Amino acid sequence: MKILFAALLLAPLNIYSQEVDASDILFLKLQELEGELASLRSELESQAYLIEKLLNEESNQLESNSSMDTETNSEVSSFRFEGINDSKSIDEVYDQAILELNDKDFQAAKQSFNYLANNFNDDEKIPLSLFWLGEISLLESNLEQSENFFQRLASDFPDHWRTPLAHKKIGDILMMSGDSSAARIKYQFVVQTFPENTASSLALQLLENME
């Protein structure tokens, strides 16, 4: 009888203990999810900041190119893709896309850059458009699409000034995808092929962190 009485007394305690354990597990899960959300938010903020930094860098580079070869840029700005009946020049479409990018209207910017990359032909604005398409796709966490844009830039415009960074970005995507060995090979390629470029310094730093 005493044993039965003791069991009855302990039963509520066991139930309470199980409820406490369940609450602890739920609390830990919530903390884990909050941590993941904070990490994702931080990545998006970092990518958005990087886009702003790259925009400033591009503006300086374009100004430098313009001062070095004004006549050539003038010819490019007036070029219209043969066979496309459109009133907007390459510069107008590109400037519109950059404005949308500055305004953080990434979907509109993506449409404009896509339109430019697929309907015009220009050795400066097309590779830049592909670069920004890669950046926007990366911001959207669409790694496969982002890699495709960077690969297209690297293969179609191997001598463009954004190509070294495009290669480095491909390494970043490989790393994000969990393929660290392939990422290491890509970073080594950047260091060896573009030793004087900023992308090489970034790749070298990442290689050192991987050791």
Segment-wise mean pLDDT, segments of 10 residues, the chain, 211 residues: 48 50 58 56 58 68 52 41 54 93 94 93 94 95 96 97 96 94 96 95 92 78
Rounded Cα distance, 169 and 159, in Å: 16
Q: For position 161, what pLDDT does the model report?
A: 96
Q: Give pairs for 66-69: CB < 8 Å, separation 24+.
A: none
Place of tokens 């260091």: 191
Q: Are 192 and 164 in contact (CB under 8 A)?
A: no
Domain parsing of the chain, residue ranges? 53-160
| C-alpha closest to that of 51 among 5, 1, 110 | 110
Instruction: Determine contact, residues 109/101, Cβ cutoff 8 Å.
Output: yes
Distance (Å, rounded) from C-alpha 81 to C-alpha 86? 9
In a 10 Å sphere around its CB, with 0-12 CB exposed, 13-18 middle and 19+ buried, how is residue 54 labelled?
middle
Cβ contact 47:138 at 8 Å: yes
Q: What is the pLDDT of residue 76?
A: 39
Q: What CATH topology corresponds to 53-160?
A: 1.25.40
CB 199 within 8 A of CB 188: no
Contacts within 8 Å (CB) and 24+ apart, 68-74: none
